A and B are shown apart, each in its own frame.
Chain A
Amino acid sequence: MSTVQDYVARIEGTCGAENDIIVTFKYEKKQEALDHILKKAALKNNLSGIIFELAFEGMSFRVYSSGKAIFRGIKNRAELDRILAALLL
């Protein structure tokens, strides 16, 4: 049974007033994580297969082919954990 921790290497706040949260996926699991997310979220925009703007549960976020995701407007860690679980598992 997979867990969010199987996919996620680090969760940090981004530097800047945006107060975004950046999720870095484990290098060996990044492609699997991206595949899961791209399957479950709706694609709104895509830049050269490098940046994907996605929508999920009324929320917009961005995923990067390098194995990162940036979420904006997340209330707290519990909410982020729930969204990641819904996207990854």
Chain B
Amino acid sequence: MFIAQAIRDDFPIFKRKVNGYPLIYFDNAATTQKPRQVIDAEQDFYENHNANVHRAVHTLSQEATELHEGARETIGKFIGAKEPAEVVFVRGTTEAINLVAYSWGLRNLKAGDEVLISLMEHHSNIVPWEIISRLTGFTIKYANVNSDGTLDYKDFEGKFTKNTKLACLSQVSNVSGVINDVKRVAKVAHEHGALMLVDGAQSVPHMSIDVRDLDADFLAFSGHKMLGPTGIGVLYGKKALLEKMAPFEGGGEMIKEVSYSPQSEGCGISWNAPPWKFEAGTPNIAGGVGLAAAIKYLQRLGMADVFQHEKELTEYAVKKLQNCCTKLALYGTTNPALKCGIIPFGVEGLSSHDVALFLDNYGIMVRSGFHCAQPLHQIFKLQSSARASFYIYNTKEEIDRFIEVLKEMEQF
């Protein structure tokens, strides 16, 4: 098991102070800090290997291509993909889901079809489907969430019909940290002939994932939430599905041939094979290299230990928070067995923004607002919430300091 205090030296940002206090970063569900190894990998790419990929025969281009495709291979192995071709580089989870919505949904969903989505989803797993449903006329069914933030499996599974074509579910809620049994839901989806899209933005960074074990048809996640750079993410898709899907954007890289016919005065176009069919234009090469470095960093720690470390922090924090302050409320389930290292909370008499600004004064960063999950806040009957979220470099000592500051808020 790694020691969080020891690995903090890898993260240059922890050398700084905020408002005169040591930085305590509890906004990891939004984005994570970057270790020196990731920063160095990106810098090394630009200093020593920078060139465009796939398009030249010169040495630098070959090096860049090897790094780029090598990153794809590293990522594919990390999530248990059958082959690297199942890994599509995108900007992040949002773009990954939009890619499925436009490339698959727009062409395969019609009036009478149904897409099943849980009410705990991030807006990025709701809004693309709402947009496409307005274009093609399919129906979206929303599955309930229990008052403690756990998924109502009976409701979700009961809403599958012969018309259900797709089920969309986050593996971990970005608000409550609740872990969903996506493998169970995928099985039910497949029994009904539907596909399963898993939003892995809050799970892939924190636990071992095997897409083949989950039997997910699509998995979307972001690099920046797992120590990697911003602007790089992944859509995993089963190869057979990716092969059948239409391109997302048009341009270079995603085509095999564009041939002008003087007879018809038009262009005949054939698509490249997946994953390049979905990667129009010059990709975020350095971002992919950085993400591969982030994955290697996490693999060195061991994903089982990453999960265990966050579990211990969550158990420790929940136990202390439940007894520390009379004005403090924890939202959603507090059972650490059901959740990851995300704790939504509020302080009586203070808005979530008051709480975040007060903590900020002491160098403690937490999120406030809806966290892009307004429907779940409606279920919790909350106008907004504050959210503390942990990662590999967080410590129990930081949680103690966080609680000290929360106690001070009770004087308001």
DSSP class of A's interface residues: helix, strand, loop or mixed?
loop
Assess whether A18 is interfacial by the CB under 8 Å rule: yes
Assess whether B128 is interfacial by the CB under 8 Å rule: no
Assess whether A20 is interfacial by the CB under 8 Å rule: yes
Q: If A16-B369, A17-B383, A47-B409 touch, does A66 touch B353 (CB 8 Å cutoff)? A: no
> Are the C-beta atoms of B384 and A45 separated by less than 8 Å?
no
Chain B residues with CB under 8 Å of A17's CB are 370, 374, 377, 382-384
Assess whether B214 is interfacial by the CB under 8 Å rule: no
> Are the C-beta atoms of B354 and A62 separated by less than 8 Å?
yes
Interface size on B, residues (CB 8 A): 23
Partner of A14, one of B19, B369, B371, B411: B369
Chain A residues with CB under 8 Å of B369's CB are 14-16
> Are the C-beta atoms of A16 and B351 separated by less than 8 Å?
yes
Chain A residues with CB under 8 Å of B350's CB are 51
Assess whether A65 is interfacial by the CB under 8 Å rule: yes
> Are the C-beta atoms of A51 and B353 separated by less than 8 Å?
no
> Are the C-beta atoms of B360 and A16 separated by less than 8 Å?
no
Question: Considering residues A16, A18, A65, which has the most beta carbons from chain B within 10 angstroms of its beta carbon?
Answer: A16
> Are the C-beta atoms of A66 and B412 separated by less than 8 Å?
no
> Are the C-beta atoms of B412 and A20 separated by less than 8 Å?
no
How far, in Å, is A40 (CB) from chain B's closest CB?
21
Distance in angstroms between the alpha carbons of A15 and B411 in the assembled complex: 25
How far, in Å, is A38 (CB) from chain B's closest CB?
16
Which residues 358-376 of B sit at the A interface, judged by CB distance below 8 A? 358, 360-361, 368-371, 374
Chain B residues with CB under 8 Å of A62's CB are 354
Chain B residues with CB under 8 Å of A14's CB are 351, 353, 368-369, 384
Assess whether B352 is interfacial by the CB under 8 Å rule: yes
Q: If A16-B352, A17-B383 touch, does A47 touch B357 (CB 8 Å cutoff)? A: no
> Are the C-beta atoms of B354 and A51 separated by less than 8 Å?
yes
Chain A residues with CB under 8 Å of B412's CB are 45, 47, 51
Interface residues, chain B, CB within 8 Å of chain A?
19, 350-354, 357-358, 360-361, 368-371, 374, 377, 382-384, 408-409, 411-412
Task: List 7 A-B pairs, minimum CB-CB distance, nearest first.
Answer: A15-B369, A16-B384, A17-B383, A47-B412, A50-B361, A64-B357, A16-B369
Q: What are some 7 contacts across the A-B interface (CB < 8 A)?
A: A14-B351, A14-B384, A15-B368, A17-B370, A17-B374, A18-B383, A64-B358
